Amino acid sequence: MSGSIGIGLVGLGRHGSRYAQHLLEGIPGCHLAAVSRRDVGAGRAFAERHGLLFVPDWRELVTCEEVEAVAVVTPPALNREICLAAVRAGKPLLIEKPLALTVADAREMVRAAREAGVALMTAQTLRFTPVLVRLRDCLADVGPLEYLVLAMRADRPPHRWLDDPGQAGGGVLLEIGIHLLDLIRFLTGAEAVEAVADLEQRHTTRVEDLALARFRLSNGVSCYVEVSRVSGGRLCRVEAVGRAGQLIADVDRSLLTWIEGRMVTETEAVPDRPTVIAVLETFAKSLSARVPVPVSGEDGLRAVAMADACYRAAREGRPVPVVIPSWPA
Ligand SMILES: NC(=O)c1ccc[n+]([C@@H]2O[C@H](COP(=O)([O-])OP(=O)(O)OC[C@H]3O[C@@H](n4cnc5c(N)ncnc54)[C@H](OP(=O)(O)O)[C@@H]3O)[C@@H](O)[C@H]2O)c1
């Protein structure tokens, strides 16, 4: 793929609008070619304002000549169907997390893309957060890693579909906790082998809004995950606890803190940058250079499998293995 890649964007809601804005402001190697959303009036008006193609039905958008790659920023229940249609049309995909509602759906998507030789990138955006990249680069400083503590707290959700298991697949764990599950693999390079979890519905009626989980990794490290949407205010923090010291990343303040003995050193703020810009740039660069995307469909599948293990563990009230489905090579 050469020249500027025409992106077809499905979904122009809270997060899709960020994609649109960044693309319109200019991302090297790609441009916004067409958009799709359910609200035809709003979609048409937006497209006219910016000289874009508006395609009400995403099934048509993925086959448009102007659309060379597809970005999917819809409620995740649509991801599977859109992915399979785009793969059939031979269009590379960037899909927002969670990749799918279930492990079976994620596996089908990854398999279809692989068999068709179509690039599939999962937008696990936290991997592109500068302070977390810095933490990863400095992780060896803590000495042998004993455990990780990862927390994410957010305000009560704005969307009704988030309390609908058919639309969201799960609660806060699958919706935003999936960022932390993926980070465990990104930061440690190890795979989760076992999970235990406790889920609560404090203000929700159908899906959890508070999740506590513990993973055992293939390298013996333990990871403790806390996710909720019950608080006022937000927090995202990762703590790496090692024998030589501790590193703490405060994502909202973009600060890394080093603790050694009684000494606490706050690093300079790591310059922050919207992660969607980095995700789009990386996607376009990988397609142009014909190299594999850095956060693959398999990565998205593995994060969904970790969430799935938590749901099983919570239901069964005991530790369960994290099952990654395999398929013929
Ligand atoms: N990585 C991150 O940090 C991050 C942050 C936020 C969200 N997300 C993810 O992004 C996705 C979208 O979240 P959101 O907050 O943007 O949700 P949202 O505000 O509800 O937006 C969903 C969008 O999908 C569109 N849509 C729904 N059904 C459609 C259909 N059949 N055809 C075409 N468009 C359709 C909606 O169109 P209408 O508006 O016209 O109804 C809307 O524009 C979710 O997967 C979420 O997990 C990721």
pLDDT tens digits, 302-321: 999 999 999 999 999 999 99
pLDDT of residue 327 exceeding 70:
no
pLDDT tens digits, 194-244: 999 999 999 999 999 999 999 999 999 999 999 999 998 999 999 999 999
Distance (angstroms) between ligand 1 centre and the Cα of 224 equals 29
Residue 51, Ramachandran bin (φ over 0: left; ψ between -120 and 50: alpha; else beta): left
pLDDT tens digits, 24-33: 999 999 999 9
Q: Which residue has the tokens 């927390």?
A: 151
Query: Taking a C-beta distance cutoff of 8 angstroms, is the pair 225, 307 a contact?
Result: no
List the chain domain ranges: 5-125+275-295, 126-271+307-321
**CA-closest residue to ligand 1 atom 34:** 37
Distance (angstroms) between ligand 1 centre and the Cα of 306 equals 23
What number of helices (H) and strands (E) belong to the chain?
Answer: 11, 15
pLDDT tens digits, 68-126: 999 999 999 999 999 999 999 999 999 999 999 999 999 999 999 999 999 999 999 99
Mean residue pLDDT of the chain comes to 95
Mutate to test the pocket of ligand 1, among 9, 14, 15 (most ligand atoms within 8 A of CB): 15
169 or 40, which is more confident?
40
Coil, strand or helix: which one is 9? strand
Ligand 1 lining (C-beta closer than 6 Å)? 10-16, 36-39, 58, 73-76, 78, 96-97, 123, 125, 159, 175
Q: Which atom of ligand 1 is nearest to the CA of 175?
A: 47
Which of 122, 135, 153 has its CA nearest to residue 300?
122
pLDDT at 311: 98
Average pLDDT over residues 15-19: 98
- Binned at pLDDT 50, 70 and 90, residue 2 comes out as low
pLDDT tens digits, 253-278: 999 999 999 999 998 777 888 999 99
**CA-closest residue to ligand 1 atom 5:** 15
CATH code for residues 5-125+275-295: 3.40.50.720
Mutate to test the pocket of ligand 1, among 36, 96, 186 (most ligand atoms within 8 A of CB): 96
Q: What phi and psi values does residue 141 have, to the nearest 5 degrees?
A: -60, -25
Mutate to test the pocket of ligand 1, among 14, 54, 74, 277 (most ligand atoms within 8 A of CB): 74
Average pLDDT over residues 146-150: 98
**CA-closest residue to ligand 1 atom 33:** 37
pLDDT at 329: 47
What pTM did the predictor assign?
0.96
CA–CA distances in Å: residue 65 to residues 29, 49, 86, 90: 18, 21, 12, 11
pLDDT at 166: 86
**CA-closest residue to ligand 1 atom 41:** 38
Q: Which atom of ligand 1 is nearest to the CA of 123?
A: 1
pLDDT at 164: 86
Average pLDDT over residues 168-185: 96
Distance (angstroms) between ligand 1 centre and the Cα of 300 equals 18
pLDDT of residue 23 exceeding 70:
yes
* Lowest-confidence segment of 16-20, 53-57, 158-162, 295-299 by average pLDDT: 158-162
CATH top-level class of 126-271+307-321: alpha beta
Distance (angstroms) between ligand 1 centre and the Cα of 265 equals 40
d(CA 61, CA 6) in angstroms, rounded, equals 12
Mutate to test the pocket of ligand 1, among 67, 73, 105, 127 (most ligand atoms within 8 A of CB): 73
